[in-house]
Structure 1
Amino acid sequence: MEPDTTRNRIAWEAASRKHVHEYEELLRQARDGCSLLDRELDLLRPVLRSAPSVVHLQSGHGLDDIALVAAGARSVVGVDYSAVAVASAQRRADELGAACRYVVAELPGAPLRDGCADLVYTGKGALIWMPDLRVWARDAARLLRPSGRLFVYEAHPAAPLWTWDEDEPRIRADRGYFDRRHVNDTFPGHGAVERQATLAEIINAVLAAGLELEHVAEYPEPFWRPDGVDAAAWRGRLPNSFALLARRGGAAP
């Protein structure tokens, strides 16, 4: 691994201990609720009606995988480079009887066969760890069967610029939209190196991988809010998240 990746893996193995400490709470959330946001479900429902096989790149605690199965997915394979997160996610899925299995692996380069998925799902803090988005997009496209979809629900690339001040939205003086990286200074990824890309760069990476863009939307709400924080930047005036749906060409077998 390159130095930044090694540093990030150490940071996230430590952060993933949270999934172990909060195992019972996350189990209740997975059993009784749905971690997929309404905006995600609005876009995914037509895809989930066909009971797709799903690959979740950077699957984290795995609650989204259980929610995807509950919403109609036939099965989910989660890929994450945190062995701690994967172990907790697999235990939770097994306990709930959900059709989810997990693989520990660095991405891009998922150790899965070509054309194994009808849907590749990712986001919610995933793309910021990818050193080369074009390689990532090609790997995601490789996993898709003809007519399969890539779905991304992610923090908006501008969101790292906003301060968490509660009185007025402000831009951080130490960050810029066109920067290539910055060091995370908040929980849970404190000390990890986040990559930066513009929205145009993300879209162009997907297009360069040969996928057909079906939908892009930007939203004012963040996908995650830390407890006790009510930042003015999250109150509707600035972009904080986005969704992207793209299709692999060709007819389904």
Structure 2
Amino acid sequence: MDDAVRRNRAAWETAAGKYVREHDDLLREAREGTSLNPSEIELLRPLLRAAPAVVHLQSGHGLDDVALVAAGARTVIGVDYSAVTTGAAHRRAAALGLACRYVVAELPGAPLSDGCAELVYTGKGALIWMRDLAAWARDVARLLRPAGHLFVYEAHPAAALWSWDADEPRIRADRSYFGDCFVNDTFPGNGAVEFQWTLGEIVNVVLAAGLELLHLAEHPDPFWRPGGITAAAWSGRLPNAFSLLARRPPEPAD
């Protein structure tokens, strides 16, 4: 683990205390609703009908894992490098009696067997923590069984440029769409460094890993809105999220 990743992990271990403190609220949220948004549900519904084994890379607080099981997933394995986060997610899944388990590990290089997943789910603030996106895509392809799917619902790479001004959206002078990285100034903060990838780079590493692109769409709504903020950049004029669905090709018929 290099210094940047080590600092990011330390920042997340500190920030993830929130998920421990808010256990009761998150447990109630998991019981009463779903963290999957309508765009996700529309794309995932036909895949979840088959009751797939799911691997959730960078699983975070685990509410998406609860939602995936509720929507039809047979099992979910969450992988995250924060021990605090995975511990909180495990406690919640155990309280709900769900078929979810968690692994603490740096990514890419998930310590899981080849072909263990019929669906790899990730996003909502995941790819920005990947130092080597090509290696991440190859790891996804390794985890998938033939004809298995990768699903990503993620912040649009351009969204980091939008200011959160209420009157009109502006481009932040301190960031570039083609930059390598920048210091995160929202959650988790604490000096964490976000790595930047253009939409073209994301698509190309998925294709280079041998996956077939089935769907790519851009969305005006962000996947996360911090409380107390209403930004003009979220009014429907600008891209704030994207969804991607890809498939590992099936094995050729004899």
Aligned partners of 1:216 and 1:243 also within 8 Å: yes
Counterpart in the other structure of 1:194:
194
1:9 aligns with 2:9: yes
Counterpart in the other structure of 2:150:
150
Counterpart in the other structure of 1:203:
203
Deviation at 1:132, TM superposition (A): 1.1
Structure 2: tracts of 5 or more residues without a match: none
Counterpart in the other structure of 2:126:
126
1:57 aligns with 2:60: no
Counterpart in the other structure of 1:185:
185
What secondary structure sits across from 1:146 in the alignment?
A: strand
Counterpart in the other structure of 1:163:
163
Give RMSD over aligned pairs: 1.1
Q: Identity over the aligned pairs, expressed in percent?
A: 71
User: Which AA in structure 2 matches 1:67?
Assistant: A
What secondary structure sits across from 1:229 in the alignment?
A: coil
Counterpart in the other structure of 2:90:
90
Matches within 5 A, 1:67-146: 67-146=67-146
**Cα distance change on mapping 1:252 and 1:117 into 2, 3 Å:** farther
Counterpart in the other structure of 1:47:
47
Residues matched between the structures, number: 253
Q: Residue deviations 1:229-252, cap 9 Å, x none?
A: 000001011100000000001149
Matches within 5 A, 1:216-235: 216-235=216-235
Aligned partners of 1:137 and 1:209 also within 8 Å: yes
User: Which AA in structure 2 matches 1:240?
Assistant: N
Counterpart in the other structure of 2:28:
28
What secondary structure sits across from 1:134 in the alignment?
A: helix
Q: Distance in 2 between matches of 1:52 and 1:189?
A: 35
Structure 1: tracts of 5 or more residues without a match: none
Deviation at 1:186, TM superposition (A): 1.4
Name segments (4+ residues, structure 1) moved above 2 Å. 187-190
Q: What is the TM-score normalised by the length of structure 1?
A: 0.98
Q: Distance in 1 between matches of 2:106 and 2:20?
A: 21
User: Which AA in structure 1 matches 2:58?
Assistant: Q
Q: Distance in 2 between matches of 1:34 and 1:239?
A: 23
What secondary structure sits across from 2:10 in the alignment?
A: helix
What secondary structure sits across from 1:168 in the alignment?
A: coil
User: Which AA in structure 2 matches 1:235?
Assistant: S
Q: What is the TM-score normalised by the length of structure 2?
A: 0.98
